[in-house]
Structure 1
């Protein structure tokens, strides 16, 4: 799978923030995630978390979204895939 290094560079720059020099040796690592059940997806993806009703979408859209998710789950066709970035950096103690 190709790695899009510009995305990692952008993420690393964002963790450094406006205060240049606070973090050193920053790196960003892509972690591809995939889920084939709504329950598993809900652990890391707020839109799949039924407890978030009203926080992300109006109730009508929330109900329509989960009706579609439930149909897909019943058919075994749920797939959520995305890349999470883990950013690391060092802090100078001097």
Structure 2
């Protein structure tokens, strides 16, 4: 399976959600609105990465927080399992997949 990816999942309280997977073990469950918000943030930093140093989101549907440093070569996500590098192509692809209607 190629990562990162986004798939739809169901949550017993929040209903339909998006699971943004950075690896088999590292993922973030996002409400649809959180997915759209992160999509807009990813799009903005991919367009002009110099304007933002850091992205942060505390998703409702999961225990982990999304915390990432924005750098010249992409976005570096910090997790309990270590860092995950997202290239600008990864960021753009995630932005498109998280932008649900």
Fold similarity call, TM over 0.5: no
Of Structure 1 and Structure 2, the greater helix share is in 1
* Higher alpha-carbon Rg: 1
Of Structure 1 and Structure 2, the greater strand share is in 2
